[in-house]
Structure 1
């Protein structure tokens, strides 16, 4: 993660890979910003938690790590 504004713009442009996206949303959840930015960020954060990719405190789960590893090796 470089700069939050750049990372948000890169996310909006579809330029982040799965790892960077999870790192970004983990940061947004940990900082509380996921709930104060436009609604799609909070909805995406909730969905990532519901799917088991992020914990409620914003950590990337082992499940997500294994999924990312699988994406990289296939």
Structure 2
């Protein structure tokens, strides 16, 4: 499986979802686990995470240390627990 899922609502689909809206949703605690991983995968690969406020770098480091994301930004999907469906 690739770094980012093929979902239409992927974080890289900034044309429809909007990058800043994802950041705001993260700040408000509104993202699912998969959306958080996709966001931080993108931020790490783009090297933006280290230029944002400290909590982003700390969150990225925590995700890396937990084995959910590689330091290259690749998501370790086998470590991700399936999300419950509403």
Same fold per superposition (TM over 0.5): yes
Q: Which runs of 5+ in 1 are unaligned?
A: none
Shift of 1:21: 0.4
Shift of 1:7: 0.3
TM-score normalised to structure 2 length: 0.75
In structure 1, the residue corresponding to 2:71 is in which secondary structure?
Answer: coil
Q: CA RMSD of the aligned region, Å? A: 1.3
Which residue in 2 is equivalent to 1:43?
Answer: 58
Which residue in 2 is equivalent to 1:53?
Answer: 68
Quick check: 1:29 aligned with 2:44?
Answer: yes
Number of residue equivalences: 70
Contact 1:54 1:61 in 2 (8 A): yes
